[in-house]
């Protein structure tokens, strides 16, 4: 039975997930490592600074003490920066002390050099959670979910009973879920689509139109399939909610952080200034190098994603992406 859930991360997505769990009748604790964010929420009587008309009431437990947050939890939800997953797990190892609490992982990204997904890192650091980690991925802007807009998400994992239990427990308007056994594919799709979204934004920054972006998305999906198949993912997942579906959403929408970051780069800003103007974390930045390293290691022909890497990492001009798509300078 899922009676108490702990959401690790009080960012926009973490807070929206926490409210969904609360609306299901669960007792909800929210842990946030940023004391500044937590203090801001508390100072504003539970109102979240980045979510319009959103408020934590006094039935939520809000804390930056990890042990307090996790105590008695039946489910942990990971919704924080991919760069912090390994270190947080190392702290949880002592706190959980071998207790096999299922994890719903909504953190997207791949680890540098190892190419491991976030769920794989969680299970490596917390081996007693083997097969108890479920990926939560798909086309889902948190601010739309907060408004009650119907949203379908993939739950991917290896324990069929756990997947069905989560699907039954968590399905309530505005969320519904499809199940998948390809957890690795779900997470690779969630990471690579963020890189593709940066590319879409670069085109927006240059001032190109829908025709050009359609070409980019089509070719990028072909490249995504090469990368994911090289890593043991299924072709079905490439064109599922957490592959194609998520790429369409993040690449085409004005509110996508990754697309906005790319747009700033396309306008000629350097990476540091682009990051400053976007403000919140664009997880695609944490995946660009890992995805490019996989391409290089497996000798894959992925000119579009390679061009995005050159622009983001090497600072090459935005029209590098147009050239990768086959367009010539006048």
pLDDT tens, position by position, 215-258: 999 999 999 999 999 999 999 999 999 999 999 999 999 889 99
Edge to edge, the sheet with strand 61-63 lists 61-63, 27-31, 4-8, 75-78, 103-105, 133-137, 151-156, 175-180
Least-confidence region, from 80-84, 132-136, 244-248: 80-84
CA distances from 231 to 115, 180, 222 (A): 9, 17, 15
Model pTM score = 0.94
Residue 286: what pLDDT? Answer: 82
Q: Is 42 noted as a catalytic residue in this protein? A: no
A 10 A CB-CB count for 99 gives 12
Instruction: Tell which residue, 260, 254, 255, 252, has the closest CA to residue 276.
Output: 260
Residue 330: what pLDDT? Answer: 66
For 267-302, where are the alpha helices, taking DSSP H only? 271-278, 284-297
From 116, 193, 213, 264, active-site residue: 193
Instruction: Tell me how far apart the alpha carbons of residues 168 and 176 are, in angstroms, rounded to a whole number.
Output: 9
pLDDT, one tens digit per residue, over 167-196 is 999 999 999 999 999 999 999 999 999 999
Please give the helix or strand (H or E) that residue 30 lies within, else none: strand 27-31
Residue 84: what pLDDT? Answer: 95
Instruction: Tell me how far apart the alpha carbons of residues 252 and 232 are, in angstroms, rounded to a whole number.
Output: 28
Phi-psi region of 280 (alpha: psi -120 to 50; beta: other; left: phi over 0): beta
Instruction: Tell me how far apart the alpha carbons of residues 318 and 206 are, in angstroms, rounded to a whole number.
Output: 7
Name beta bridge partners: 5.
28, 75
Both structure tokens of 83: 């760069």
Domains (range + CATH), the chain: 4-181 (3.40.50.720), 184-324 (1.10.1040.10)
| Across 66-84, average pLDDT | 96
Is pLDDT of 279 > 90? no
């Amino acid at each position: 039975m899922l009676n108490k859930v702990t959401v690790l991360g009080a960012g926009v997505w973490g807070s929206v997930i926490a409210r969904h769990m609360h609306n299901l009748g669960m007792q909800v604790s929210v842990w946030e490592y940023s004391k500044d964010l937590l203090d801001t929420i508390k100072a504003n009587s539970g109102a979240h600074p980045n979510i319009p008309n959103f408020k934590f009431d006094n039935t939520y437990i809000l804390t930056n003490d990890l042990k307090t947050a996790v105590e008695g939890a039946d489910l942990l939800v990971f919704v924080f920066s991919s760069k912090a997953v390994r270190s947080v797990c190392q702290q949880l190892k002592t706190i959980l002390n071998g207790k096999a609490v299922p994890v719903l992982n909504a953190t997207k990204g791949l680890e540098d050099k190892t190419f491991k997904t976030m769920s794989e890192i969680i299970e490596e650091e917390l081996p007693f959670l083997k097969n108890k980690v479920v990926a939560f991925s798909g086309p889902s802007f948190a601010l739309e979910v907060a408004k009650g807009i119907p949203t379908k998400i993939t739950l991917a994992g290896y324990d069929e009973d756990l997947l069905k239990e989560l699907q039954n427990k968590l399905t309530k308007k505005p969320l519904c879920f499809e199940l998948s056994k390809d957890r690795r594919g779900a997470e690779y799709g969630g990471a690579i689509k963020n890189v593709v979204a940066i590319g879409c934004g670069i085109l927006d920054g240059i001032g190109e139109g829908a025709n050009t972006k359609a070409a980019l998305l089509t070719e990028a999906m072909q490249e995504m399939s090469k990368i994911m198949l090289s890593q043991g993912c299924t072709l079905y997942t490439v064109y599922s909610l957490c592959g194609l579906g998520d790429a369409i959403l993040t690449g085409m929408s004005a509110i996508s952080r990754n697309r906005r970051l790319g747009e700033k780069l396309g306008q000629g800003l350097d990476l540091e200034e682009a990051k400053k103007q976007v403000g919140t974390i664009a997880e695609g930045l944490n995946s660009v190098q890992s995805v490019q390293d996989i391409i290089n290691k497996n000798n894959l022909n992925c000119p579009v994603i390679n061009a995005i890497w050159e622009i983001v990492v090497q600072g090459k001009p935005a029209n590098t992406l147009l050239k990768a798509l086959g367009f010539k300078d006048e």
